[in-house]
Amino acid sequence: MTQSNSPSWFSRLSSLKKITWVFKWLLFLGMLLYLYVSVEAKGQSLGEVYRLLRFHLQQGHWGILGFALFLTPINWACESRKWQLLAQKIEKISFGQAFQGVLSGLALGFLMPNNVGDAAGRVLSLQSHQRLSGVGAALLSNGLQFFVSLFFGTLGWGFWVYHQATLQQWPQLLLLLVLVMTLVFGVVLMAKRGEAEQFLVRFRLFRWVDPYVKVIAEYTLSEIGQAFRWAILRYGVFTLQFALLLWLFEVNLPLDVAIAGIFLVFFAKTLIPALNFLGDLGIREASSLYVFSFYDVEPARILAVTLTLWCMNILLPVLIGTVWTFKLKWWN
């Protein structure tokens, strides 16, 4: 019997994973290089970031920092409540179980692509034998949060284009149009989610996905609306956190500029989920430096803000979530 010289599907998959791994690390190193060059271009250094962190914490600003830190559990509590509501289609879970699943997913996002790790943590925290249907619920939860970020990001980009003459060119205006059209498409897709699920199963290539995502069509608009309100509330919480840290590190900007900039930073972070390993470390910093580079803001102050925010909203919850990942039932 002759053997085929063509590589097996397993070896091709392994090669693809290696290429993806190399690409992600190259991009991560590229973002770190961009951060370094941006700071050095302003005659500063990474040591200045550390100096700012120490200085402002020694100036008695613990009240602002404490309030921002207090918002961290509220942030993830909003996400947990949203997940609890959506998980009801698979099984009844308590708020504590939902909170555990969310932080477990956040921790697993450090080890695998962020959306995959997030869904895995939530699904594995369920006890039902139908828990793989939770993949669809997790996708819907992330989709609602993405839509909120897209909406406010579009507002932020519109504000930026309107106030920055250098951005009033056809590529930037085309991007604004694409964002608006994507918002409209998202609304139509949600309203016609049942028809979209039936359309998907017509294609043999996507038919295997149906058992995992068909639960999305089972939600009523009222149930989706309840989850959507928690998504908006969560967005408001971490927007307030960002604004408080801008105030703490004396990034003096008009309020409308600061808010629009925050919207754009969060949108950039949300738009690149496949590269969010290490909990979006680097993405938030690089996008913040670019967005606020249109104004006379010291890069070191922006880095101090974003690194503090990363420690609050990602690093600390991940340390808690890591403990809970050991309690997950991987096989059921």
For 64-123, the pLDDT digits (tens) are: 888 999 999 999 999 999 999 998 888 888 898 889 888 888 877 766 655 677 777 788
The predicted structure's pLDDT at residue 176: 93
With beta carbons less than 8 A apart as the criterion, state whether 285 and 303 touch: yes
Instruction: Out of 163-172, 195-204, 220-229, pick the least confident.
Output: 195-204
- What are the backbone dihedrals phi and psi of residue 4, each rounded to the nearest 5 degrees, phi first? -75, 135
Range of the domain at 209: 46-326
Query: Please, which pLDDT band fits residue 9 given cuts at 50, 70 and 90?
Result: very low
The predicted structure's pLDDT at residue 256: 92
For residue 215, what are the contacts with CB-CB under 8 A and spacing of at least 6?
A: 89, 90, 133, 134, 136, 137
Tens digits of residue pLDDT in 202-229: 766 666 677 677 788 888 889 999 999 9
Q: What does the alpha-carbon distance between residue 321 and residue 101 come to, in Å, rounded to a whole number?
A: 8
Tens digits of residue pLDDT in 128-137: 777 777 888 8
Does residue 147 register a pLDDT over 90? yes
Residue 143 lies in a domain: yes
Q: Inter-axis angle of helices 46-57 and 9-41, to 10 degrees?
A: 70
Q: What does the alpha-carbon distance between residue 280 and residue 314 come to, in Å, rounded to a whole number?
A: 9
Map tokens 């999305």 to a residue: 216
Residue 164 lies in a domain: yes
Does residue 44 register a pLDDT over 50? no
Q: What does the alpha-carbon distance between residue 99 and residue 82 come to, in Å, rounded to a whole number?
A: 10
Query: Please, which pLDDT band fits residue 184 given cuts at 50, 70 and 90?
Result: very high
CB neighbours of residue 43 within 10 Å? 9
Residue 274 lies in a domain: yes
For the chain, the average pLDDT equals 78
Query: Please, which pLDDT band fits residue 56 given cuts at 50, 70 and 90?
Result: low
Tens digits of residue pLDDT in 250-290: 888 999 999 999 999 999 888 765 444 445 556 677 778 78
More confident residue, 173 or 31: 173
Residue 242 lies in a domain: yes
Q: What does the alpha-carbon distance between residue 267 and residue 151 come to, in Å, rounded to a whole number?
A: 9
The predicted structure's pLDDT at residue 329: 57
Strand runs (DSSP E) across the chain, as ranges? none
The DSSP letter of residue 94 is -
DSSP conformation letters of 27-62? HHHHHHHHHHHHHHHTT--HHHHHHHHHHHHTTTTH
Does residue 175 register a pLDDT over 70? yes
With beta carbons less than 8 A apart as the criterion, state whether 106 and 321 touch: yes
Residue 288 lies in a domain: yes
Instruction: Out of 82-86, 151-155, 298-302, pick the least confident.
Output: 298-302
The predicted structure's pLDDT at residue 274: 43
For residue 195, what are the contacts with CB-CB under 8 A and spacing of at least 6?
A: none
CB neighbours of residue 264 within 10 Å? 23
What is the average per-residue pLDDT within 20-32? 57
- CA 111, 304, 256, 72 torsion-angle sign: positive
Tally the domains of the chain. Answer: 1
Q: Inter-axis angle of helices 299-310 and 221-248, to 10 degrees?
A: 130
More confident residue, 47 or 51: 51
